[in-house]
Amino acid sequence: MSPFRSFVVVSLNQIARNYRNVCSVVGPQVEVVGVVKADAYGHGALEVARVLVAEGARWLAVSSVDEGVSLRCGGIREARGPDQLRILVMGGFLSYERRALVEHDLTPVVHSLAQMRDLDRLAEASQKPIAFHLKIDSGMGRLGTRAASGEILATLADLRCARLEGLMTHFASAADYTSTQTDDQIAYFRTVCADLRAAGVNALRLHTSSTNAIGYGRTEGNMVRAGHALYGYVSPARGDAPRQRLSVKPALTWKARLLAVKEIPEGALVGYGGTFRAPRTMRIGVVGAGYADGMFHRLSNRGKVIADGKLTSILGTISMDLTTIDLSHTNILGPGDEVTLLGTEGDARLDAQQIARVAGTISYNILCSISARVKRVYQS
């Protein structure tokens, strides 16, 4: 029994199984990058990275230089075999982070021609060639260059010490088959790649696809970036989509303990603002987790948890540290007993996508919002 009032249990075996499933779907000729940004979507970056490396991953991806440095300082250096474990920094870098890129052997994603030139000066000053991946903004309108192929080629020709290793883009709507946006992005990216190839520039790595594109078969190039799939989720498709190819399962269960259980009379008000009025005599439980732990405030009077193997309602307004639930269906549970906020218990199931639909958000947001004060417990 875990001695915490609120904790998540992460199945490292399930993450390994999910990684293997991604590898089997994309095939042996495609490199799978394990995305461990945002503390591995709330699962614990160091612990997940160790699992992926043990499974044979040669690439990990993070958002920031800080995240990459944390992995290196945590001992994430060698891949299985003689290879250096590569860490791709997808979210770019700021001027004061340049030295850390070199010192910790991080591979930056570059988003502009100016940044290519900056990186080249850094490589020259460091007397160390730096490989980078150039991100093409193919239509998402976020990070990445929109420069014409000729401008990219001219900048590449001027580089002395930085070396183009990869070309990449990111899809905005990979699971949406009611839109042509992904097809348009693929066409744009292919054109840039073809223009560079015609000029003699052949990037070693080409990658466009993250979890949703992998799941629905929209993969380009010889590398994919698996994030959400590692943790057990693929977004449902919109429109006339092909069959979803991945077979992954959630790796995280979130539990919290009851702090109090009591009876309230008909007409009693519950929580801040008295937003719930008991329609009858009820048995209620106060759970030791609130919005500071990652319980979305929008689940007030709308969400569910699992108690004694049954889905039951959240009553009243979720507060910072506490959530009140209906326990009228059971007399078994008392203070100190666990309820399930996310996961399975008996035949009842509550995953991040179900919670997200009620909270008006996405499953990524649910997982990444489980706060640091919720203890992480790891199981093999």
Q: Kindly list the catalytic residues.
A: 37, 272
**Helix (H) / strand (E) containing 228:** none
Give one DSSP letter per residue of 93-105, joined into a string: --GGGHHHHHHTT
By three-state DSSP, how is residue 230 classified? helix
Asked whether the beta carbons of 300 and 317 are under 8 A apart, the reply is: yes
Q: Where does the chain show beta strands of DSSP type E?
A: 6-11, 31-35, 59-62, 86-89, 107-110, 130-135, 162-168, 205-209, 223-226, 252-264, 269-270, 276-277, 282-287, 304-307, 310-315, 323-326, 338-345, 348-350, 375-379
Q: How far is CA 225 from CA 58, 133, 220, 238, 326, in A?
A: 12, 13, 11, 21, 41
Residues 117 and 143: their CA atoms lie apart, in Å, by 17
DSSP label of 136: B
Residues 104 and 114: their CA atoms lie apart, in Å, by 23
Q: How far is CA 174 from CA 21, 170, 186, 203, in A?
A: 19, 9, 11, 23
What residues contact 180, with CB distance under 8 A and at least 6 apart? none
DSSP label of 335: T
Residues 126 and 302: their CA atoms lie apart, in Å, by 56
By three-state DSSP, how is residue 266 classified? coil
Asked whether the beta carbons of 206 and 221 are under 8 A apart, the reply is: yes
Structure tokens at 368: 């990444």
Handedness of CA 340, 249, 235, 170 (dihedral sign): positive
